[in-house]
Structure 1
Amino acid sequence: MARPAKLPDKLAGTAHQVIWPAGTRLYRVHRKTRSGATFNPTVVDHHFGGTRFDSTRNDVYSYLYVAPTAQTALVESLLKELPIDDGAPRTVSYSAIEGRCLSQLELLTDVTLLSLLDRRAMSAVSQGTWLIQADTPDYPFTRRWAHWLRQQADWAQGLIWTSKQDHPEPTAVLFGDRFGPLLGDNVNKVVATVPNTSIDLDDSAGMRWLDRTLSDYCVRVGAPPD
């Protein structure tokens, strides 16, 4: 489906909900300089940089991209810019994993997500598969649509959709501003890092584990520079 030419005045139907209960385990790839449970406060440019459903100056919120499996979290983070060309295994460069780790998280509260998981759910919010399959050049538009969806469904604490890189597995983003007093300065009662589960992706053990994990996707990990 092509990108819609404009935002509609209202939803075509009633937005579908998915509820993740407290105790749900999730995964996230992130920089080692921040906790896995820390929401990203970066406000990206309207037109440049950023990812699919980030905050901009038009709609400021912190956000946390997560997935129910380690594999989906990894491929969503690491494979989206890798082309498939001559049939040879793709390579994740060392620079893509340097300073990064994979953390397992646990929800501390129930979370209500707006669903983009199937055609019916997307049709209800006046959208099609373009929104969840668009490539990087269209991210300014996917972000604008996310902001519109947030306006139409003020109950939505995040969005859940089918991973482009790991179809048909789900992936999601949580919106920090939708958790009120559960998330604020020095307070995080939304999600916690599960102790002793983080994997450094850039050390020798982590690279071996990552190489094995990504082999099912015909992907290998590049060697660090000398």
Structure 2
Amino acid sequence: MGRFPPPSVLPGVPRRHVLAAGTRLFRVHSAARAAAAFNPVPAHCLYGGGRFDATRCDAYGYLYAGLTVEAAICETLLRSMPFDASGGPRLLPHAAVRGRRVSVLRLAREVRLVPLVSGRDLAAVGQDSWLVQAEAADYPYTRDWGHWIRAGAGADVQGFLWPSKREPADRALILFADRCPDGTLQDADVPPVDLDRRDGVAWLNTVLEGYLAAVAPGGDAG
């Protein structure tokens, strides 16, 4: 599918996927922001930003997470990182982890998401796997589609769920602040991992090893 505008109305009825209260969510985020804090800054309509960020066309706080720590790390840190033609590990620059941490959250109440997982899920919103597999160059278009789905699917929709592009066995999600009551997210009783510390880098490398990746040696982790 790809770079064309959404139709005037949804072609089907978007389904619902309920995440139960108590579900754990994993998030890679700036250490300057609380783990449960939504990003309040809209992305530019054309430049930068993520797959389903808010823009000035549809302003809402947003929070990305994974249902596994692997999904959260792969979606955040391995985006657009090609494999080494020689077969060596992909090296993640220290700048990519500076000031970042991994936190575990839990849902204090259930949330209702539009799943964008199966062919039926995607057909209900007039799309195919492009919507959740497109690379960053197409994100202005996926953001526009996301705004349209958000508007048409119903006010009960609190976010989207889709297969992680970098770890297809797991799921990524976005939550919308304006549809999640205060207290929906709580810190889980798990210490965060600061990714720019030596112990954090060592922990991260154990996760990245399975993806043929590692933090580049020689950084200034403390």
TM over 0.5: yes
2:188 is the counterpart of 1:190: no
- Corresponding residue SS for 1:55: coil
2:63 is the counterpart of 1:64: yes
- Corresponding residue SS for 1:72: helix
- Displacement after TM superposition at 1:153 (Å): 1.1
Alpha-carbon distance between aligned partners in 2 of 1:78 and 1:167, rounded to the nearest angstrom: 15
Counterparts of residues 79-158 of structure 1 (less than 5 Å): 79-86=78-85, 87-154=87-154, 155-158=156-159
Alpha-carbon distance between aligned partners in 2 of 1:160 and 1:193, rounded to the nearest angstrom: 21
Listed as ranges, the gaps of 5+ residues in structure 2 are none
Structure 2 contact 90–212 (Cα < 8 Å) conserved = yes
- Corresponding residue SS for 1:47: coil
- Which amino acid in structure 1 is aligned with residue 208 of structure 2? L
Alpha-carbon distance between aligned partners in 1 of 2:219 and 2:25, rounded to the nearest angstrom: 32
Alignment match, 1:186: none
Alpha-carbon distance between aligned partners in 1 of 2:116 and 2:89, rounded to the nearest angstrom: 31
May I ask how many residue pairs the two structures share in their alignment? 218
Q: For 1:136-181, what per-residue CA distance to the aligned partner results, in whole angstroms no more than 9, with x for missing partners?
A: 11100000000000111122100000110101311100001112xx
2:5 is the counterpart of 1:6: yes
Between 43-52 and 191-200, report the one with greater CA deviation. Answer: 191-200
- Displacement after TM superposition at 1:11 (Å): 1.6
- Which amino acid in structure 2 is aligned with residue 212 of structure 1? T
- Corresponding residue SS for 1:102: strand
2:216 is the counterpart of 1:215: no
- Which amino acid in structure 2 is aligned with residue 41 of structure 1? P
- Which amino acid in structure 2 is aligned with residue 174 of structure 1? L
Counterparts of residues 166-185 of structure 1 (less than 5 Å): 166-179=167-180, 182-183=181-182
Seq. identity, %: 39
Q: For 1:92-139, what per-residue CA distance to the aligned partner results, in whole angstroms no more than 9, with x for missing partners?
A: 111100110000000011100001011111011111000001111110
TM-score using structure 1 length: 0.93
- Corresponding residue SS for 1:152: helix
Listed as ranges, the gaps of 5+ residues in structure 1 are 184-188
Alpha-carbon distance between aligned partners in 2 of 1:8 and 1:83, rounded to the nearest angstrom: 34
- Corresponding residue SS for 1:56: coil
Q: For 1:42-80, what per-residue CA distance to the aligned partner results, in whole angstroms no more than 9, with x for missing partners?
A: 111110011100000000000010111111100100001
Alpha-carbon distance between aligned partners in 1 of 2:203 and 2:129, rounded to the nearest angstrom: 33
Alpha-carbon distance between aligned partners in 1 of 2:187 and 2:218, rounded to the nearest angstrom: 28
TM-score using structure 2 length: 0.95
- Displacement after TM superposition at 1:195 (Å): 3.4
Structure 2 contact 16–115 (Cα < 8 Å) conserved = yes
Runs of 4+ in 1 over 3 A off after TM superposition: none
Alpha-carbon distance between aligned partners in 1 of 2:109 and 2:130, rounded to the nearest angstrom: 31
Alpha-carbon distance between aligned partners in 1 of 2:76 and 2:218, rounded to the nearest angstrom: 19
Alpha-carbon distance between aligned partners in 2 of 1:149 and 1:127, rounded to the nearest angstrom: 11
